[in-house]
Chain A
Amino acid sequence: MNHPMAGLERQMEQATAPAERPGGPMDEETASLGEAWLAFGQLLEAAQPSAGLARPMPHASPPPARSRWSLPKVLALAASLLVAIAVAWKVRGSKPSPDPAGPSGQVAGVEPRQSAPANGQSPSVPPQTELAWNDTLDNEIALAGQAVMSVREDRLGLAGAASSVEYGLQQLEKDIQDSPL
């Protein structure tokens, strides 16, 4: 360090010394700079009184650790959810149609009902709402029972699909709650 810079450093250290640790005897120039420094410090204290106090910070606790959710874990969860949805969809698709008048609604050995009456009835009247001529009551009851069974099975299939998705979501929620954030 050369001499002028050492002198300047000493002068600045003296001029900016804290009030409780004065920098010792100083020349007039240094004293006037020190006076400006003290006035500046008083302004800072008056304008920001909290800065000089030992006021605790608003959140006096260490920041939480970063989330441990890694990309592979998230991808694995998303894949398992997709598989669950696909399985549920497949189960639902393999179920018969709930339409009781459709082909799946027929009972073995029972003649299928005609879709339109041959005796010139109005087509707006659904054929299954009234008994056809020569149809026995037993056949009608069997057809209705088959339709009810079909609808019930389809509903069960939907419930299974929904429960698979719900199970996947519950697993995801449990993983999120268990992992320390």
Chain B
Amino acid sequence: MAPSRQSHDDRQLWADWGRVHGPAVRGYLAAMLGRPDLADDLAQEVLCRAWQARGRYREQGNARAYLLRIADRLACDHGRKLAREVNWSDQRWQAMEPADDLAEPGENLVREEAVRELASALETLSPAQRRVLLLRYYGDLSFAQIAAIMGCPLSTALSHCHRGLAALRKLLVKSDL
């Protein structure tokens, strides 16, 4: 392939990753870590790492799975670090020092309520259940792909998914009734 053609393809690849898959990667990281501010930085890190190893991606082909695999590894590494740190997220800082926000106050209230509910829902899940459900949600990956990313047998991934959904049903579906 000619260099200019390859350069154009690389730029297109990078644009697709950022535009199509970037929000999902960021969402996955934010849900895994509970830190939207950190998720932004890590999403950039994911794209940079994916870019540096894009030769490996060309062998695999599935961009979303490739990016989420890197995101999952980064989230696990940072999750271990965060367990040893005491940090305040953006929401907690804004609660202490209200800043200007473009959203309407009503939207903010709804969102804050959703953030609290999501946090309590994620707390009911084990880390493995959280990974399976979030990889399934953001990546729309098959359970075989999820098991490969997590490095566990397919049966284990399915079991985590079933138990996680059962825990969510207990919390979310019952509370609606």
Contacts and interface: CB of A to CB of B under 8 A. Distances in A.
Q: Is the interface of A mostly helix, strand, loop or mixed?
A: helix
B110 A46 contact: yes
Contacts of B15: 60
B168 A54 contact: no
Interface string B113-128: 0110110010000000
Contacts of A13: 142-143
Nearest to B31: A44
Contacts of A52: 23, 27
Contacts of A54: 19-20, 23
Contacts of B159: 8
Given A36-B173, A43-B114, A47-B115, A56 B27 contact: no
A109 interface: no
B47 interface: yes
A49 to B, nearest CB: 7
A9 B169 CA distance: 18
A48 B43 CA distance: 14
A48 B27 contact: yes
A16 B165 contact: yes
B117 A56 contact: no
B30 interface: yes
